Amino acid sequence: MTFAFAAAGTGGHIFPALAVAEALVAQGVSRDDIVFFGGDRLEARVVPEAGYELIKLPLRGLERRITTSNLAIPGMVRKAASVVATELAQRQATALLAFGGYVTVPTVWGARRAKVTAMLHEQNAVPGLANRLMARFSKEVFVAFDEAAGTLKGATVVGNPLRPAFDHFDRDSLRSDGRKRYGIDGSAFVVGILGGSQGAAVLNATATSLAGSLGEGAALLHLTGRAKADEVSAIAADNDRWVVIGFEPDMEHFYAACDLVVSRAGALTMSEVAATTSPAIVVPYAAGTAGHQAANA
């Protein structure tokens, strides 16, 4: 008996899937009976680190502009769906739960070919293209926001799955350890800059500007995204009140350490901010698909 997940690209897709997988493990399901379908992006590192098998599909995302490179996508989707169907059939999978993004179409298609129950979860207030396309082919559709339920008919509102650490988040009990984790003075007023798992260029630039004018007793905890961590760390090297981290797998420590969070409006970030009741200034990504971050905020 195997439970399959499809999640790729960004933390907003991947970490809710991992949270559901961890819930299954907590109920007695072996990690060996859980498999993920994805690609070569963030999931290629964090899924195996969490102890799960990742099957990489021969696929990439659709470019949102007219380009000849998109002509290869249908063939990739067909090939990936065949891989999924074969893997699910061989493993006698019980169900597949897809979390949106470019892996959703071939995994739901492959599940149908293998006669395996396919389900979807939509994290954003505005459903993505893949989930809109595949909702009709899925037995169950779950959404995080009421607004999404209005688009995906028959969907059940369940919120965004979060790791167990957020279920009983207690800032007071975590704050001291969180500050020590990042080497921040326990009495400082800490502003956290958070651009999501991939970072955000405009927030990184804002942090660079802000760090030069920090008032006495203030500190900056800056999650840059791995791609920019070295670059920003070099700039921050001479400022002991500017702490730079590329990636944080256990985000409860980040929120506990901060007095104020400045962030993008990704669905998972908004759910974590709400769960931790963190004071926040939210800067939606204006170029996001269909204005989904503004809707999330």
Q: Which helix (H) or strand (E) holds 63?
A: none
Pairing of strands 242-245, 218-223: parallel
Predicted pLDDT of residue 287: 66
How far lies 34's CA from each of 29, 80, 81, 94, 254, in Å?
A: 8, 19, 19, 10, 29
**pTM for this predicted structure:** 0.90
Residue reference for tokens 């006698």: 92
CATH of the domain spanning 2-161, picked from 3.40.50.2000, 3.10.450.50, 3.40.47.40, 3.20.20.70: 3.40.50.2000
Q: From 125, 259, 254, select the one nearest 197 (Cα to Cα).
A: 254
pLDDT reported for residue 288: 62
Q: Of 277, 275, 268, 276, which Cα lies nearest the Cα of 296?
A: 268
Contact 80, 110 (CB under 8 A): yes
Q: CB under 8 Å to 4, separation ≥6 — which residues? A: 34, 35, 36, 37, 87, 88, 91, 93, 95, 96, 97, 107, 111, 116
Write down the pLDDT at residue 15: 96
- What is the sign of the dihedral through the CA atoms of 161, 163, 164 and 166? negative
Nearest to 223 by CA among 250, 195, 242, 249: 195
Q: Say how far residue 43 (Cα) sits from the centre of its chain.
A: 10
Pick among 3.40.50.2000, 3.40.50.720, 3.40.50.1000, 3.40.50.980: CATH of 167-296: 3.40.50.2000
> What is the pLDDT at residue 25?
98
Place of tokens 């169950």: 140
Q: At what angle do helices 226-236 and 201-211 cross, to 10 degrees?
A: 10
User: Roughly what angle, to the nearest 10 degrees, separates helices 11-26 and 267-275?
Assistant: 50
DSSP letter, residue 214: P
Range(s) within the chain of domains with CATH label 3.40.50.2000: 2-161, 167-296
Write the CA distances from 58 to 110, 130, 267, integer angstroms. 13, 17, 27
Q: CB neighbours (10 Å) of residue 162?
A: 20
Q: What is the pLDDT of residue 204?
A: 82
Tens-digit pLDDT profile for the chain (297 aa)? 899 999 999 999 999 999 999 999 999 999 999 999 999 999 999 999 999 999 999 987 776 667 676 677 889 899 999 999 999 999 999 999 999 999 999 999 999 999 999 999 999 999 999 999 999 999 999 999 999 999 998 999 999 999 999 999 999 999 999 999 999 999 999 999 997 655 677 888 888 888 888 888 999 999 998 888 898 899 999 999 999 999 998 999 999 999 999 999 999 999 999 999 999 999 998 766 667 899 998
Can you tell me the distance from the alpha carbon of 190 to that of 72, in angstroms, rounded to the nearest whole number? 47
Looking at the DSSP assignment, which residues form a beta bridge with residue 3? Answer: 34, 95
Element (H, E) at 232: helix 226-236
| CA distance linking residue 105 with residue 111, whole number of Å | 10
Amino acid making up residue 132: R
Return the bridge partners of 222, or none. 193, 244
Residue 196: predicted pLDDT:
62
Instruction: Collapse the DSSP code of 35 into the 3-class scheme (helix H, G, I; strand E, B; otherwise coil) and give the result.
Output: strand
What pLDDT is attached to residue 290? 62
